[in-house]
Chain A
C-alpha cells in the first residue's frame, strides 16, 4: 500500500506492506535512523516521535496510521539549521546522557512535555518521562537538562 505523510517538513511517500510500523518506515525507508528501537513493546520510549505535534511511540503505530500526518523525528527537531534545538543543547550542556541510546526518544518526549506542562517542576518532569527508560544516567541529569531546555524554549 502507498503511504504519504510529511516527515520533518518534507513530503514523503512509499509503497509499504500494511504491517510496516511507523518506526520501520522512518528507519528503513527514509533512513532516519535517529529514532531508535529499544523494547518494541511500547515500554521504553526510545522510538518516541511527534505525530501531529504530540509524542507517540513509533513502535506501536502502523505507518499507514500516519497517512496524511505531520511526523517530526529527532532529525527534524532543529528545523534544518546547523544549531541544535534548545532541548538538545540542554542535554549536551547538562550531560543528560551517557550511551545516548535513549536520548532521541527522551528529547522528543521532553519537547512534548514542555508544550503540555510549561514551567514543569522536577516532579512533573519525572512523571511525564515515566515512559522513557534510561539505563545509564540515573535520570538526575536528564531532569536538569529538561528543566534547562524548557527554560530556554520559553515555554513553547
Chain B
C-alpha cells in the first residue's frame, strides 16, 4: 500500500458529486482518470482525506458538435479525442496534440477535464485550450459559471476551480473556413512531459487578386494564436511573435522576425533538466517548425 489512507466515494450523478464537494471542501479531491493523481498519491505528494471518483458519472462523458461549438465532457479520455472524427473536423488542433500525450495506456485512461484541472505547465491540453479560446464550465452547489481558458490557468497546478466546484465540460469554437492548426513539442523521451511545446491556430488568406486559387505555401497569415507550454507556470500566448507574422507571407525574414520577438513574450523558466537558454532556443526552433508545417498546408 503506497498512498495515505482516504475515504473513497463513488457517486453516479453530478448532483451527488456536488453534495460531497460541498460537504468536504478542500479535504476532498476529485479523481477522474487518476493518471497524475494516483502516482502523486503513491509518493504522498498528495494525501486527500476524501477521494470522489467521477468515473461512473456518465453525464460527464462525450463529444458533441452543435452550431459551430464543440463540446467535450470532462471525463472524455485522451484516446477518445484522438480517435474522434468530430474533433478532427471541428478542432483539428486537439487531434494533432493527442498523440503527444504520454503513452497509449495512459491515453486510454486519462481524461480531458482531468488534464485541464491538473494544469501541469508542461501538459498539452491547457495550451490547446488557450489557443482555441475554450470556455471551461464549472458547477457547484452555488451554481454554474464559465471561465475562459485564458483566465482559467493561474499557475503551476493552479486553476480558477474553487474547492467546491467540478469541471463538467469544455466548449470550443469550431475552426473557421481557411483556418489551419499546428502542434509540436520536444521531450527528452517521447511520452514524457514536454520540455517545450507549441500549439498554433490561424488563417491563411489569399494575398493576390481576390478569388485567385490559393496554393500551398501561398497567402498571408491572419489571426494567429500561438501558445507555448513548458516555458512558464501556465500556457503563454506568444502575442509579439504572432504580431510579427500577422498579414505576412511566411518567408525567411518574417519567420526570423517572429522568432526574434519570442523574448518579448516570455523568458522560459528552467526546469530540472533544461536551462532557460536551451528552452528559448527550442521555442525558436519549434516555432519555425510548426509555422512551416502550417503554412505549407499540412497543418490541418
Residue ranges of A at the interface with B (Cβ–Cβ < 8 Å): 1, 17-21, 24, 40-42, 45, 48, 51, 54-57, 59-62, 64-65, 67, 109, 112-113, 116, 127-128, 130-132
Contacts and interface: CB of A to CB of B under 8 A. Distances in A.
A109 B103 CA distance: 10
Contacts of A67: 10, 56
Contact of A55 (B7, B53, B105): B105
A127 B43 CA distance: 28
A59 B41 CA distance: 11
A107 to B, nearest CB: 13
B55 A54 contact: no
Contacts of B190: 127, 130
B51 A18 contact: yes
Q: Is the interface on chain B under 10, 10 to 19, 20 to 34, or 35 or more residues?
A: 20 to 34
B104 A42 contact: no
A45 B105 contact: yes
A111 B2 CA distance: 29
- Looking at chain B's contact residues, the main secondary structure is loop
A65 B34 contact: yes
Nearest to A48: B105
Nearest to B108: A54
B2 A113 contact: no
Contacts of A61: 34, 38, 109
B174 interface: no
A67 B10 CA distance: 10
A112 B105 CA distance: 9
Given A18-B6, A57-B109, 19 more contacts: A19-B1, A19-B6, A19-B41, A40-B42, A41-B39, A51-B108, A51-B109, A54-B108, A56-B108, A61-B34, A62-B8, A64-B8, A64-B53, A109-B104, A116-B83, A127-B190, A131-B105, A131-B106, A131-B191
A20 B79 CA distance: 26
**Which 8 residue pairs spanning A and B have beta carbons closest together?**
A131-B103, A18-B8, A54-B108, A19-B3, A55-B105, A60-B38, A130-B191, A41-B39
Contacts of A131: 102-106, 191
Contacts, number: 97
Interface in B7-27: 7-8, 10
26 contacts: A18-B6, A19-B2, A20-B1, A41-B42, A42-B35, A42-B106, A48-B105, A51-B108, A54-B108, A55-B104, A56-B105, A57-B105, A57-B106, A57-B109, A59-B39, A60-B34, A61-B38, A61-B109, A62-B34, A62-B51, A62-B53, A67-B10, A112-B104, A127-B190, A131-B104, A131-B191
Nearest to B41: A19
A54 B77 CA distance: 12
Given A40-B42, A64-B10, A65-B34, A19 B108 contact: no
A67 B42 CA distance: 20
Interface in B89-131: 99, 102-106, 108-109
Contact of A19 (B5, B83, B103, B109): B5
B8 A1 contact: yes
A127 B104 CA distance: 9
